[in-house]
Chains A and B, each alone.
Chain A
Amino acid sequence: MTPEPGRDTVRWIDERAGASPALKAALRYVFPEHWSFMLGEIALYAFLVLIGTGTFLALFFQSSTADTTYHGSYAPLFGERMSLAYDSTLRLSQDVPAGLLMRQTHHWAALVFVAAIVAHLLRVFFTAAFRKPRDITWAIGVTLLMLAVLEGFLGYSMPDDLLSGMGLAIAYGVAMSIPVVGANVAFLAWGGEFPGGHQFTTRLLTLHVFLLPALIATLIALHLAGVIRNHHTQFPGPGRTERNVVGTPAWPAYALRSLGLLAATAAVLFLLGGLVQINPIWQWGPYEPYLATNGAQPDWYLGWLIGGLRIMPPLEIHFAGLTWIPNPFWGGAAFPLVVFGLLYAIPWLDRRLTGDRSRHELLDRPRDNPQRTALGMAFFSWVALVFFAGSADRILIRFGIPYELQIWFARAAVFVVPVIAYLVTLRICRELQRSDAHPLRGWSGRRVRRTPAGGFAVVEASATAAGDDVSQQPWTSSDSAGERLMRGRRS
C-alpha cells in the first residue's frame, strides 16, 4: 500500500489534537451556491484588508492634540501650526513610501466593509434567512453593522482634519442631546467640554485600534460559528429539502473560488486605494472649533444620520425651564435607535406577523411572502430617503435647488414614499407570484399564434414551456399550483 500524500502530517496532528474527523468534516463542508451568498464573504475579506492596512497605519500615526509645526513635504501647509495627529497623518500620506496607498485602501475598505454588510443584511432579510435557527446569528450581524459604523466614524475622526472635527462636533452635540444625562455622557466621553484634549484622542485610538476591532473580530467569529453550526440556507430546488444542504464541498472547488473572491476583493480595494483619491486631508486643513466648511459630507454610512438631523423640524421638549429633549436627539439618536431596534426585532416581528415558528432551511424568494417584502421595502426606502435628504447641501451646490425646498420635500416624502414603496412592491410581488416567472429570465408572457382564418389563439402554457425545459416540480407549495410553473433553480 502506498502512503497517501499528507498522511504523515495528518498523523502528526492527530497524535496531538485528534483532529482528523473535524478536518474531514471541514473538507466536505457543503456550500450552497448563489451569487448573493458572497456578500457576507466580501464583508469578511474587506475586514481582513482593514486589519492589514490599519496595522501599517498604526505604526506611523500619533494620536495627540499636542501642537506642532509642520515641516513635511506638502508645501502649502509648510510651517503651519497643527496637532500631532494631523501632522503624522500628513506625513504618513505624503512622506512614507506606500503610506498613502495604505491609508486610501484602508478608507476604501471601510466603505466597502459597511456596504457589503448592508447588502448582506438586505439579502438575508428579503430571502428570510433570519428565521429560526438563525435568529441569533442575525442579531450578531446587526450588532456587527452597528459596530462597523461606529468604528468607521471613529477612524475618520482621528486625523484631526477639518472634516473629522466637524463630525466630532456633531457627535458631541448628539451626545449632549440625550435626555437628562446628555451633558454628563458627553463630558465622560470627551473628558470635559468639546473639543476635549489628550484624553479624548487617546480614547479614540484605544477604541478604534484595539477595543472595537477585537470586539468586531470576536463577533465575526461567533457569527461564523452560527453559520457553520447550521450550515447555509439554500434556495428551493431539486433534491433540496429542509433537512439537507446541497452544494459544493469546501475542498477543493469552493475553497479555491472563495480564496479567489478574497484576492478579488483585495484587488479592487488596492486599485481603488491606488487610483481613486479619497479624503485628501491636506486639502481640508487642520480643525479648529470655529471653522466649518460648506458641502461637507461624512463617509456614506453616516449619511442617514446627517439626513435625520437635517430634516428634523426645530422641535425640542421644554418644560419647567429645562430642555428635556434637545433637537439633535431626534435625528441623531432616536432615529438610529428606531432603525436598529426594528432590525433587531425583525425575526420576532416576522414570527408574530406570519405565525410561523418552525425551523427554516429553505429560503423564501422575495415574492413568496409579499407582505414581508413590501414591509421591508417600506422600511428600507424610509431609511434610504432620509439618507438622500442628507445630501441636500451637495444638491444645492451642484444644481442650485433651494435647500429649504429640498428639506420640505423630504419631510413630506418620509411619510409618503414608504407607503408607495409598500403598495408598489406588494403589487409587483403578487404579479410575479401569478406569472411565477423570473423577472429577468425565461418566458413570462403568453404566446399567441395567428390562425389560418385570421384570428389569434393563445398557445397553451404547456406548449410554451416544452421548449424551455420547464416542468412542474414537487417542491412547489402554491395555492395555485395548477397554473403555476416553477422552474428548476440550480443556484
Chain B
Amino acid sequence: MSPWRVIVAAILLLLRGGRRGPAPQQPLDPRERRVPFNGRAELLVAALLMLGGLAGLGFALVYLLAPGGETQWLGLAVGVALALIAAALIVAGKAVVPQEIAVEERSELIDEQAEQEVPELLAEGVQGVTRRRLLARAAGVAGIGVGAALVAPAASLGPNVAQRIDATPWRRGVRVVDERGRAILADDVPFGTFVTGFPEGASLRDLASPIVIVRLPPSTIHLPDGRAQAAWAPEGLLAYSKICTHAGCAIALYRYPSFRATQPRPALVCPCHYSTFDPARGADVIFGPAGRPLPQLPLAIDPGTRELRANGGYSGSIGPAWLEVKRGGA
C-alpha cells in the first residue's frame, strides 16, 4: 500500500469510529436498541469530567496568579478543559448510554383538505366587501407613502457627492511637506527611492493630500502632450497622487531597476492589487487592474530655498474611479 492510501485509510478509520471495510449487512428493519452496561466507560467518563474540571480550575488559577496576561497558559487550560469534557461527552454518548437506531416517519407535508380550506377561508374574509379593488389600491398608496417616509431618512447617512470628491488642497504655490510638517527640499529626493509629501496645512487623512515624489533622469521622461517637462517635472522630479486609481490603496512600492533584464523600467506599484504605473510616462498603467494613470501634480522648485511647491492642481481626479471621474490626459 502506498503511504497516501495508508494516510487516507487512517483518516477514514478515525472518522468512521474504527469500522473497517464494508458495513455489515443489516436487515431491512434497521431498528435496534443496545443497553451497554459498560462500567469501565462510566469510570472513564467520570475521570475525564473530573480532569476537565481540574483544567478549568487551572484557568482560574493562572488568571489569579499571573495577571500579566498569560495568554498561552490561559488558552491551554480552557482548551484542555473543554477537550476533556468533549471526550467525556463523546464517550458517554457512544459507550455509556443506550445505543438506539430508531425510525421516524416523515410528515407528508401535503394535507389536501387544509390546502383547500385555506383559500376558502381567505375568500370568506372578504365576503360582502364590494369595493375590493379600490381598497386594495388605497392600501397600496398607503404602503408606498409610508415606505417613502421610512426610506427617505437614509439620505441623511451621507452628503451628496457634488464637487467634494474633486476638491483638493493643492494649489499653485502650496509647499510640499512631510508627515511631520517639515518642508521637503528638491535635494531630499534621491534617485531610486520615493518620498511621500503632503500639502502644507492640509489634513493627512484627506485622500487628495498624499503624493509620491520620485526623481528620474530627465532624458528618460516622456510626459503626455500638454505637460511641459519644465512646468511639471523640474530637474526630473515627478509627483503623483499616492492614492491608487484602482481601489484607493496607497502606492507604497517603488520598483526601481536593479537588474535591467527583468525590471526594465522604474514603476510605482500598489501593494493591494499590484496596479503598476510608469512614472516616466505620466504614470501610465503598465500592469494590473487600474483603469487610468495616477493623476500628476506639477512641481516647482523654490529658487531660493530649494523647497518643493505645487505648480498647480492634479492632472485629473484622484482616487478610485466613479461615474464622473476626470481621467486627465495620459
Contacts and interface: CB of A to CB of B under 8 A. Distances in A.
A136 to B, nearest CB: 13
A392 B154 CA distance: 39
A4 B210 CA distance: 77
B165 A327 contact: no
A97 interface: yes
Contacts of B177: none
Interface stretch (A268-276, A350-358, A425-433, A452-460): A268-276
A179 B322 CA distance: 7
Given A170-B247, A309-B289, A316-B292, A193 B23 contact: no
B76 interface: yes
Contacts of A247: 101-102
Contacts of B12: 440-441
A320 to B, nearest CB: 11
B104 A29 contact: yes
A181 B98 CA distance: 62
A231 interface: yes
Nearest to B292: A316
Given A260-B87, A327-B290, A177 B22 contact: no
Given A184-B161, A231-B106, A442-B21, A291 B89 contact: no
B82 A266 contact: yes
Contacts of A96: 69
B27 to A, nearest CB: 7
Contacts of B107: 229-230
Given A239-B29, A274-B79, A323-B322, A292 B246 contact: no
Contact of A239 (B28, B67, B323): B28
Contacts of A323: 291, 321-325, 327
Contacts of B209: 290
Interface in A258-317: 259-264, 266-268, 270-275, 288-296, 306, 309-310, 312-316
Given A249-B102, A309-B273, A274 B249 contact: no
B200 to A, nearest CB: 15
B189 interface: no
A403 interface: yes
Interface string B151-162: 000110111110
Contact of B22 (A30, A105, A331, A442): A442
Interface of A: 28-30, 35, 94-101, 104-105, 133, 166, 169-170, 172-174, 176-177, 179-184, 186-195, 199, 229-231, 237-240, 243-249, 252-257, 259-264, 266-268, 270-275, 288-296, 306, 309-310, 312-316, 318, 322-324, 326-328, 331-332, 359, 361, 392-393, 402-404, 407, 438, 440-442, 468-471, 474, 487-491
Given A257-B90, A407-B288, 16 more contacts: A104-B71, A183-B161, A192-B159, A229-B107, A239-B28, A244-B105, A260-B87, A267-B80, A271-B80, A289-B210, A293-B252, A323-B324, A326-B322, A441-B22, A488-B23, A489-B23
25 contacts: A98-B74, A170-B273, A173-B320, A195-B205, A231-B104, A238-B26, A239-B26, A245-B104, A246-B103, A252-B97, A257-B90, A260-B85, A261-B86, A275-B76, A294-B271, A306-B273, A310-B273, A310-B289, A327-B246, A328-B289, A402-B262, A403-B274, A438-B22, A440-B9, A469-B22
